């Protein structure tokens, strides 16, 4: 596959990827007190994997999503109310995936968000068009698409979550890809931002002052209790309540 064609967006130059919003933003999640949450093991835009090794050349060698290392079979949660946009099984580096569409009214964000949850243990049980509620389990974590390559026989059990954002709800699908009217990446931590001026892009997030880059994140506990600001997206994996006497 040379330039053009279906793989073209994977092979854009760093300059084009920068325009499309793929770079390190410096955002940091701040979780509620009293719970322990699965942490980011490799952030959006990172040139390295969780183990410190350099990424392959896809996406300019930059991470187009965020990774969370998980025990296999960990429930993955819809971060907001939405609709299944696409689901299926890709090959190496993809595995089982599900794309969810979150409209602005369900996230409070000024964009339509398309989120891909990747490396699911089993093919998604939900079909395109199915509505999902915030906190609903949309799949279980796994290592599909990660075995046999860099991670070897055992693969790497984790959630890879990546977001595309668009001013409108239109999209097409091609293989494991979903293409809104324009390909614009957003740091998944942008879900928890409240940008001034109604603009939400990786560029606007990168430009925030350091203290504004620490973003309070709402969460669901493993007991199903929601903690944090109402009507905001939640963390895609439940958090364990800390034991207290």
Work out whether strand 214-216 and strand 28-30 pair parallel, antiparallel, or are unpaired: parallel
Note whether 160 binds Zn ion by CB under 5 A: yes
Note whether 187 binds Zn ion by CB under 5 A: no
Part of the chain binding Zn ion (CB under 5 A), chosen from 87-95, 145-153, 154-162, 216-224: 154-162
| Residue 64 backbone phi and psi in degrees, to 5 | -90, 5
Mark 39-78 with x for binding to Zn ion (rule: CB under 5 A) and - for no binding: --------------------------x-x-----------
Residue 62 or 238: which CB sits closer to Zn ion? 62
Part of the chain binding Zn ion (CB under 5 A), chosen from 29-37, 104-112, 153-161, 208-216: 153-161
- Please work out, in degrees rounded to the nearest 5, the angle formed at the alpha carbon of residue 193 by the alpha carbons of 220 and 47: 95
Note whether 119 binds Zn ion by CB under 5 A: no
If binding means CB under 5 A, how many residues of this protein chain bind Zn ion?
3
Residue 65 or 95: which CB sits closer to Zn ion? 65
What's the rounded Cα separation, in Å, for the pair 42 and 49?
6
Residue 58 DSSP one-character state: G
For residue 93, the minimal CB distance to Zn ion (Å) is 9
Part of the chain binding Zn ion (CB under 5 A), chosen from 27-35, 140-148, 155-163, 207-215: 155-163
Q: Which residue, judged by CB position, is nearest to Zn ion in the bound state?
A: 160
| Residue appearing with tokens 């994996």 | 237
Part of the chain binding Zn ion (CB under 5 A), chosen from 80-88, 109-117, 159-167, 231-239: 159-167
For residue 211, the minimal CB distance to Zn ion (Å) is 28
For residue 196, the minimal CB distance to Zn ion (Å) is 29
CA distances from 198 to 170, 212, 242 (A): 20, 16, 36
Decide: helix, strand or coil at residue 102.
Answer: strand
Decide: helix, strand or coil at residue 60.
Answer: helix
- Pair 122, 76: CB distance under 8 Å: no
Q: How many CB atoms lie within 10 A of CB 142?
A: 24
| Nearest one of 91, 124, 75, 121 to 234, comparing CA atoms | 75
For residue 122, the minimal CB distance to Zn ion (Å) is 19
Q: In the complex, which residues of this chain contact Zn ion (CB under 5 A)? A: 65, 67, 160
């Amino acid at each position: 596959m040379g330039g053009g064609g279906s793989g073209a967006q994977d092979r854009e130059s760093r300059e084009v990827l920068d325009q499309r919003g793929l770079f390190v933003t410096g955002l940091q999640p701040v979780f509620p007190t009293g719970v322990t949450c699965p942490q980011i093991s490799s952030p959006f835009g990172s040139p390295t994997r969780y183990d410190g090794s350099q990424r392959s050349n896809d996406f300019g060698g930059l991470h187009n999503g965020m990774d969370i290392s998980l025990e296999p079979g960990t429930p993955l949660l819809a971060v907001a109310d939405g609709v299944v946009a696409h689901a299926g099984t890709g090959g190496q580096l993809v595995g089982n995936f599900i794309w969810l569409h979150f409209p602005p009214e369900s996230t409070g964000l000024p964009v339509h968000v398309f989120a891909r949850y990747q490396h699911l243990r089993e093919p998604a049980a939900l079909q395109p068009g199915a509505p999902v509620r915030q906190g609903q389990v949309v799949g279980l974590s796994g290592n599909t698409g990660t075995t046999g390559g860099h991670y070897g026989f055992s693969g790497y059990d984790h959630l890879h979550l990546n977001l595309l954002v668009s001013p409108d709800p239109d999209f097409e699908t091609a293989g494991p890809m979903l293409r809104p009217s324009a390909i614009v990446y957003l740091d998944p931590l942008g879900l928890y931002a409240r940008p001034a001026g109604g603009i939400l892009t990786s560029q606007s997030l990168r430009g925030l002052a350091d203290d504004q880059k620490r973003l309070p994140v709402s969460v669901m506990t493993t007991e199903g209790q929601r903690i944090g600001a109402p009507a905001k997206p939640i963390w895609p994996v439940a958090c364990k309540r800390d034991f207290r006497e």
